[in-house]
Amino acid sequence: MPTLFKYESGIKFLSKPENLTLIADPTTTKAASNCDVAIITHSHTDHSIAFPNEGIKVYSTELASKLYESLTARKPKNTHFVDFNKKMNINDIEVKFIPAGHLLGAAQVILYFDDLTFCYTGDISTDKMLTVPKAEIPDDEIDILIIESTYGKADLMFDSRERINISILKWITDSLQSKKIPVINIGHLGGAQELIAFLNEMLSIDIYCDGRTSQINKIYKQEGIKLNWNSFDILNDTELKAENSVILLPRALKKPPEFLKSRKIARSIVTGQASRFAFSSFEQAFPFSMHANCNELLNHVKAINPKKVYTLYGFDSEFASVVRQKLKLFARPIKLSKEKPTLEEFL
């Protein structure tokens, strides 16, 4: 019987003949507990819930585990580290991690079963950025590619990252000129570090972040990424210089912190979702994303040239149809996959 795989709160694989089950990026602890091994591609919490669970044997990069700990303040348990570009055996299944871009320590996973070679991308970015390399192309022949499709819809409006960065820069300098402190909501992990690195290069300005983002920044810094910032947890608000400071807030934080109450501020948000939504409570919304856009995803599929493509998350149906039309490859959302496994519905 061929290797079985399906989506069940994560991507579940069955290796024959031992009936070993492996799950990639489980989204519930229950799904992970039912498997022998879990692989975590990166530390964003929609991919990494299995880390702090003693009962689950987890494989990830060391950096993904460190970043998870600073992001959530929870300790990863029962975690085994995998180096990039080195084949290793995980419970008799040969596996290799290659860089995914997106975040430090983020991996695409290649699984070598006897009959099929899989590549599961996790979240990827294919542009070389200041804080992360671009997603690598596997040098193996891939039978089945399972690819994220967060922004896999052709008509989403993404400008080039350079141009978006320039508009953020312009908005910051305009705000400062009108004596307002620019306050930017942005993802703690990934987006914030990329923006800090860019602003450090372009402006001589004090950047303030919350404590958790500061912890993440420290890990980036240990990895050799040049970042300069201050933590506003230790900020005495008289220190804040209206003419020369920018504040970064966690993306979902609606109310600015107390120390900004008596200040004149201008607010913007940086998120890939700005390609879809207006974010009208902000003066500006910038669609900068650490995820590949539709065209970038398509180029990634093209370069890998797999036999079959399964899409996952976001615009999975839309992206599968783009792949079918443009690349003439078999493509469908893994969640809607009709190729149902047998073997008692795959254990």
124 or 247: whose CB is closer to Zn ion? 124
44 or 188: whose CB is closer to Zn ion? 44
User: In the window 42-101, what residues touch Zn ion (CB under 5 A)?
Assistant: 44, 46
C-beta neighbour count of 115 within 10 angstroms: 9
The reply to whether 134 sits near Zn ion by the rule CB under 5 A is: no
User: In the window 6-45, what residues touch Zn ion (CB under 5 A)?
Assistant: 44
User: In the window 157-186, what residues touch Zn ion (CB under 5 A)?
Assistant: none
Say how many CA atoms lie within 13 Å of 22 toward its Cβ: 26
Radius of gyration of the chain (CA): 21
105 or 138: whose CB is closer to Zn ion? 105
Binders of Zn ion: how many residues, by CB under 5 A? 3
Say how many CA atoms lie within 13 Å of 345 toward its Cβ: 3
CA–CA separation, 17 vs 24, rounded Å? 20
Bridge partners for 123 per DSSP: none
CA–CA separation, 212 vs 263, rounded Å? 23
**Smallest distance from the beta carbon of 25 to Zn ion, in angstroms?**
8
46 or 239: whose CB is closer to Zn ion? 46
**Smallest distance from the beta carbon of 46 to Zn ion, in angstroms?**
5
Which listed range, 28-36, 82-90, 122-130, 175-183, lies at the site for Zn ion (CB under 5 A)?
A: 122-130
**Smallest distance from the beta carbon of 44 to Zn ion, in angstroms?**
3
Q: Number of H helices and number of E strands within the chain?
A: 8, 19
Which listed range, 25-33, 116-124, 129-137, 219-227, lies at the site for Zn ion (CB under 5 A)?
A: 116-124
**Smallest distance from the beta carbon of 262 to Zn ion, in angstroms?**
36
Which listed range, 2-10, 121-129, 196-204, 232-240, lies at the site for Zn ion (CB under 5 A)?
A: 121-129
46 or 233: whose CB is closer to Zn ion? 46
Residue with the two structure tokens 């996790």: 122
From candidates 8, 25, 123, 318, binder to Zn ion by CB under 5 A: 123
Residue 116 burial (CB < 10 Å; 0-12/13-18/19+)?
Answer: middle
Residue with the two structure tokens 């500061």: 214
User: In the window 228-287, what residues touch Zn ion (CB under 5 A)?
Assistant: none
In sequence order, which residues have a C-beta less than 8 Å from that of residue 311 and are 6 or more positions away? Answer: 146, 147, 148, 149, 152, 317, 319, 320, 323, 331, 332, 333, 334
Give contact residues for Zn ion (rule: CB under 5 A): 44, 46, 123
